[in-house]
C-alpha cells in the first residue's frame, strides 16, 4: 500500500462560547492563533487535514457536523479552546460516524495569576467543558477519548500523534484488500477465520484466491524476469552455500508471479497455504512462496503462511505503525538465560533484521510438503512488541500485546527466523500468561515498544486489548 493511501484524513474543529467574544474582544483572536498552531501540528503528522474552522454556537456546530460527515474522516479532533457547550460538539460526534478525540491545550504551562484578567483566564479554560463533554458523550453512547496539556507540550503531542497513527491503521483496514489463498492448514482450529467477521470488525474486503490464480501468473514469467528477481534476492540476502540454484530460481519465479498477483488484485496483505502432493505444481508453488512473500512483507504488503489471515492483519497493523511486523510463533524456552525463543520458518519482515538476512536451502520444510529456500535472521536487538489477534467464543476480536527486548544469544541455523526475547520475567510464566490471553498460534513481532499506540488502535477499532505484562 502506498504511503499516500495510508495518510489518515483528520477532521479539525475548534470552538468556544460565542457569548464571550463581545465581552472580551482580545479572546477570540488569541484562540484562533492557538487553533492555527494545532492545525499546523496535525498536518505535520503526515495527515490530510479537513479544518472546518472555529465554531461559536450550536448552529455553527451543526453546520460543521455536516461538513465533517461529508468528508469521511478517519478521526475528528475537537479542540476545546475555552468553555463551550456540549450542544456544539454533540452533532459532530453523532453524525460523522468517525471516532472523536477531544484536546484541551491551554496556551502555556501556567497562567500569570498576578496579572491576568477574566478574558486572559478564559484562554486557559479548555479543561472546563471536558467533563461536560465526557458526560454527554457517555449518555449518548459516543466513545470518549481526550488529551489535555498545553500548546507546546510535547508529551501531549506524542499522545495526539498516537491517535493519528491509530487513525491511519483504521483507514488501512477499512479500505484494505486482503488476499486469502489456498486452504486451512489441516487441524489448526485456531487460525480458522470467518471472513464476515473480518469485515464486521474492521471493514475492508477479503479476496478469496485460488493457487491457480498464482499458477497462471507464474507460468507467464520469463527467464529475464527470473534473472532480475534473482539479482534482487542476491542484493537483499546473503546466500548460504546450501542454496540450490534451481531452487533459488524457482523461488524467484514464484516471487515475480506473486508481485503480479498482488498488483492484479490490488492486495494490501496476503495469507496462504496449500498442502500439495508428491511434488505436483501446487505443492511446488506453496514451497516456493517464502522468498517472494518476504520481499512483499518488506514492501509493506505482509504475507503470512499457514492461512493465517488474522496474523497477516496484525502484521499490517504493525507495519502501518512503523514497527515492521514479522510472522512469528513460539519455538523454545531458554530457562538458563531467561529468554523466549520465537520466529518462524516462513515469510519474514526483512526491514527489521539485525543484519543482512540469510537465504538457506532446505531439503525439507518441517510439517509441510516440499523443499526450497527459506529466510533466516534475528530481529534487530532492542525493544520489541508482539501483536496478535484473538477471537472469543462470541466471535469478538481482540488485540493481544506484549512488550519485551530482543537480546543476544545462540540461535538455530535451520532456515528459520529466530529471536531471543527477554520479557523481564520467568519465560515459563510469561508463556503461560501469553497462551491464556486468547492469542492464536501466530502473531506479529515488531520493533519498538508499541503498547501505547496499540491501545489507541484498539480504541478506534472498537476491540478490546489484552496486555501481557513484563
Question: In sequence order, what are the residues at sequence separation of 6 or more whose Cβ sits closer than 8 angstroms to the Cβ of residue 316?
Answer: 172, 173, 176, 268, 269, 302, 325
Locate 366 and state its grid cell: 518441517
pLDDT band of 383, cuts 50, 70, 90: very high
pLDDT band of 2, cuts 50, 70, 90: low
- Express each pLDDT in 294-341 by its tens digit: 999 999 999 999 999 999 999 999 999 999 999 999 999 999 999 999
pLDDT band of 3, cuts 50, 70, 90: low
Query: Picking from 17-31, 79-93, 179-193, 243-257, which range would have the lowest pLDDT averaged per residue?
Result: 179-193
- Express each pLDDT in 31-43 by its tens digit: 999 999 999 999 9
pLDDT band of 278, cuts 50, 70, 90: confident
Average pLDDT of the chain is 95
**Spatial distance between the Cα atoms of 126 and 53, rounded to a whole number of angstroms:** 17
Q: Nearest 5 degrees, angle CA 322-CA 328-CA 332?
A: 135
Of the candidates 407, 400, 356, the residue with the CA atom closest to the CA atom of residue 377: 356
User: Is the pLDDT reported for residue 235 higher than 60?
Assistant: yes
How is 106-118 classified by DSSP, letter by letter? Answer: ESSSS--TTT--H
**Spatial distance between the Cα atoms of 75 and 52, rounded to a whole number of angstroms:** 14
Q: Which CATH number is 3-174's, of 3.40.50.10940, 3.90.960.10, 3.40.1410.10, 3.40.630.10?
A: 3.40.50.10940
- Half-sphere exposure of 11 toward its Cβ, with a 13 Å CA cutoff? 26
User: Is the pLDDT reported for residue 346 higher than 90?
Assistant: no
**Spatial distance between the Cα atoms of 433 and 404, rounded to a whole number of angstroms:** 14
Question: In sequence order, what are the residues at sequence separation of 6 or more whose Cβ sits closer than 8 angstroms to the Cβ of residue 136?
Answer: 86, 90
Domain residue extents for the chain: 3-174, 187-467
Of the candidates 417, 409, 134, the residue with the CA atom closest to the CA atom of residue 290: 417
pLDDT band of 276, cuts 50, 70, 90: confident
Please state which CATH number belongs to domain 187-467. 3.20.14
User: Is the pLDDT reported for residue 363 higher than 80?
Assistant: no
Higher-confidence residue: 292 or 97? Answer: 292
- Express each pLDDT in 403-450 by its tens digit: 999 999 999 888 888 999 999 999 999 999 999 999 999 999 999 999
Amino acid at each position: 500500500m502506498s504511503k499516500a493511501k495510508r495518510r489518515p484524513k483528520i477532521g479539525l474543529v475548534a470552538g468556544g462560547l460565542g457569548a464571550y467574544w463581545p465581552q472580551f474582544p482580545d479572546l477570540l483572536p488569541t484562540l484562533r492563533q492557538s487553533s492555527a498552531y494545532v492545525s499546523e501540528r496535525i498536518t505535520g503528522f503526515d495527515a490530510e487535514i479537513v479544518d472546518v474552522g472555529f465554531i461559536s454556537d450550536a448552529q455553527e456546530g451543526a453546520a460543521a457536523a455536516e461538513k465533517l460527515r461529508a468528508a469521511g474522516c478517519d478521526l475528528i479532533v475537537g479542540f476545546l479552546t475555552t468553555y463551550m457547550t456540549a450542544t456544539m460538539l454533540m452533532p459532530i460526534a453523532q453524525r460523522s460516524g468517525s471516532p472523536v478525540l477531544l484536546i484541551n491545550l491551554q496556551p502555556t504551562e501556567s497562567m500569570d495569576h498576578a496579572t491576568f484578567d477574566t478574558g486572559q483566564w478564559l484562554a486557559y479554560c479548555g479543561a472546563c467543558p471536558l467533563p461536560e463533554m465526557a458526560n454527554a458523550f457517555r449518555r449518548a453512547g459516543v466513545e470518549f477519548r481526550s488529551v489535555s496539556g498545553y500548546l507546546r507540550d510535547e508529551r501531549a503531542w506524542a499522545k495526539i500523534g498516537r491517535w493519528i497513527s491509530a487513525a491511519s491503521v483504521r483507514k488501512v483496514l477499512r479500505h484494505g484488500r486482503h488476499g486469502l489463498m489456498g486452504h486451512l492448514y489441516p487441524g489448526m482450529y485456531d487460525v480458522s477465520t470467518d471472513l464476515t467477521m473480518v469485515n464486521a470488525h474492521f471493514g475492508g474486503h477479503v479476496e478469496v484466491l485460488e493457487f491457480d490464480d498464482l499458477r497462471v501468473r507464474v507460468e507467464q514469467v520469463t527467464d529475464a524476469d527470473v534473472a532480475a528477481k534473482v539479482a534482487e534476492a542476491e542484493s537483499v540476502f546473503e546466500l548460504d552455500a546450501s542454496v540450490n540454484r534451481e531452487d533459488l530460481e524457482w523461488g524467484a519465479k514464484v516471487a515475480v508471479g506473486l508481485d503480479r498477483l498482488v498488483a492484479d488484485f490490488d492486495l494490501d496483505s496476503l495469507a496462504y497455504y496449500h498442502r500439495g502432493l508428491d511434488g505436483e505444481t501446487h505443492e511446488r508453488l506453496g514451497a516456493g512462496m517464502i522468498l517472494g512473500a518476504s520481499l512483499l512483507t518488506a514492501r509493506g504488503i505482509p504475507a503470512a503462511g499457514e492461512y493465517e489471515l488474522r496474523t497477516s492483519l496484525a502484521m499490517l497493523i504493525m507495519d502501518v505503525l512503523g514497527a515492521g511486523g514479522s510472522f512469528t510463533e513460539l519455538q523454545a524456552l531458554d530457562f538458563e538465560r531467561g529468554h523466549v525463543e520465537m520466529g518462524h520458518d516462513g515469510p519474514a519482515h526483512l526491514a527489521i533484521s539485525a543484519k543482512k538476512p540469510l537465504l538457506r536451502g532446505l531439503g525439507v520444510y518441517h510439517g509441510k510438503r516440499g523443499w526450497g529456500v527459506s529466510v533466516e535472521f534475528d530481529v534487530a536487538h532492542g525493544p520489541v512488541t508482539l501483536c496478535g489477534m484473538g477471537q472469543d467464543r462470541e466471535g469478538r476480536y481482540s488485540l493481544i500485546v506484549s512488550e519485551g527486548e530482543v537480546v543476544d544469544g545462540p540461535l538455530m541455523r535451520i532456515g528459520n527466523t529466530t529471536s531471543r526475547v527477554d520479557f523481564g520475567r520467568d519465560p515459563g510464566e510469561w508463556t503461560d500468561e501469553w497462551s491464556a490471553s486468547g492469542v492464536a498460534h501466530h502473531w506479529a513481532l515488531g520493533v519498538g515498544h508499541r503498547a501505547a499506540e496499540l491501545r489507541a488502535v484498539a480504541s478506534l477499532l472498537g476491540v478490546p486489548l489484552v496486555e501481557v505484562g513484563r
